[in-house]
Each structure stands twice: as structure tokens, then as C-alpha cells.
Amino acid sequence: MIRMERKMFFFTKLCTVLIFTNCVSGDYPKAQNVSWLSINFKTLLLWDPEPTNYSYTVEYSIIGQNRKKNQHCIRTMETECDLSNSLVDLKAIYSADVLSEPLRGVNSDLIEFPHTTSERFTPYEDTLIGRPEFKIEVSKDKRKITLYVEDPLTALFNKQNQQRTIRDVFADELQYKVTFGKATSTGKKTKISASSEIELDRRDVDPGVSYCFNVQAYIPSRSTDKQLGELSQRQCSPGDDKSVFEEYGIGVIATFILLIIMIIVVAIGVTVVCCKRRRNANRSGKEGVPLRSV
């Protein structure tokens, strides 16, 4: 009898623990849609949903090494964590866990909190390269166009606390792809340059002609889908080959077209009136001639 009571006691205790554990786990739902967003090495870990009566803690590590915590992402109510300064080795492969935990100051009997693991991420291979800025210079003889590309800044700093550019990070691996064409044409050409100073000569452009350009970073060592950066704003060089619209303006051309239409309408109207009068005159003449006697 005593044995049966002990068994019932332990069974009840076990059920209570299991029920309590399930209730606590239910209060801390797992993070969903955990993903990386990285542009110019500004790297954020994002997830859902926004917490209510619980918080999130982010742990990260190089694959195979011990996990660390970012001090700004411990029991936070945010749904993002900036890990830009934490991922020091840019060529390492990282993963991160988002843990669902109690609010600050609240204790829990849970030994392991619900967590969701991110996909693997390598800053050097996976960060997106933002759109570059560039200036256009046309030579005096108008036979050469030079593009001066400004290497985009990153979220990284050197030991002297100077902000690094993507050129500082990728060095000789960084190239630029230029897409260009005549301002008056839809045809396009491309040119790859290893330099931030891109020269286009008579083999690429016609003298005195206006060309429009787009520039984007190009890193051939990456996987195909991540080789190209964001496309720049479109810019056009000045040229001597102004189109009719550039030369006279839309207003003048519209007025000219309207004037031509009015002249055509008036001409048609005058022609119709003249034809009617001629017909009427011919009819009147025939009616006024007497019949010949037989």
C-alpha cells in the first residue's frame, strides 16, 4: 500500500513538472523568420514576432566554436540585433540563435529556453554591396569620358577609428561593371573595370555624343547570384547631339504640331467648301440653258 502511494506521489509529481514545463514553454514562443540582412557589412539579425510578456536573447558563434552574446541583445524587446561589430572575422562562417526568455528581473525554472537557429552567414561572401556614387568628366576634345566612382563606405572601422570602404575590404577583388548607351538610343554596352577611375575612349563612345551610365560593384570571386552590387543612379554626360526635344522643348514642339494640324484642317475645310460651290455652280448653269427645238 505504501509502495502504491509512493508511486502515485512520484507519478503526480512528474505530471506536475511536465505540465508546468509545457505551460512555461507556451509562454515563450519560438522566434520565427530568423534571417540576416547585411548591406556594406552593416549586419542585422531579424526575426518575428514582437514579444509581449517575454524577451529575446541572441547568441552567435563561428561554426564549431563557443557561443557568445551581444550585450545589446540580451533579454531585449526588439526583433533585431546589430551584429556588425561582433562578426570580426569577415571570412568565417557564423550562425546565431534567438532564445525566447523571461523579461528582465523575472526568474524561470526552465533549464533550456526555446530557441530558433539562423542560416549560416559569411560577411565577406554574403553582405550586399550598396549603390556607388560617381562623377562624369568629358575630355576637351570630347573623345574620352571618364567616370570617377566613389567606393561605398562600410560599417567597419580600422584601428585608427577610420571608416573603411569596400575597396579597403575587398582590395583587388573589387571591380566595377558599367552599363551605358547613347542617350537617344535603347542599345546598351557593358565594361568591367578593376579601377574606380573608368575611362571610355573612342573604342567605347562616339565623340560629342551624350551617353547615360549605370555603375555597380562586381566581385567575381563570389557565387553568381551575389557578384553584383546595387545599381547606381543613372547619370548622363553632356553632348553635342541634342535631340529635337532637348533643342526646342516639349512646349514649342507641341505648339508646332498643333499649328500643322490646324493648317491641315483649314485646308480640308476650304477644299470641301470650294468643291460644293463648284458643284452648285455647275447645276445652276445646266438648269438655265433652254431646250433645243426639234
- Please give the pLDDT value at position 239: 78
- Please give the pLDDT value at position 33: 97
For each of the domains in the chain, give its residue range(s) and CATH number, in order of start.
27-126 (2.60.40.10), 133-241 (2.60.40.10)
Please answer whether residues 121 and 94 qualify as being in contact, where contact means their C-beta atoms are separated by less than 8 angstroms.
yes
- Please give the pLDDT value at position 245: 57
Q: Mapped to the 3 state alphabet, what secondary structure does 164-212 carry? A: EEHHHHHHHHCEEEEEEEECCCCCCEEEEECCCEEEECCCCCCCCCCEE
pLDDT digits (tens, 9 = 90+) for 211-235: 999 999 999 999 999 999 999 999 9
Please answer whether residues 153 and 165 qualify as being in contact, where contact means their C-beta atoms are separated by less than 8 angstroms.
yes
- Please give the pLDDT value at position 284: 66
Amino acid present at 94: Y
Please answer whether residues 206 and 230 qualify as being in contact, where contact means their C-beta atoms are separated by less than 8 angstroms.
no
User: What's this model's pTM, rounded to 2 decimal places?
Assistant: 0.70
pLDDT digits (tens, 9 = 90+) for 15-29: 443 333 333 444 689
- CA pair distance 43, 116, nearest whole angstrom: 18
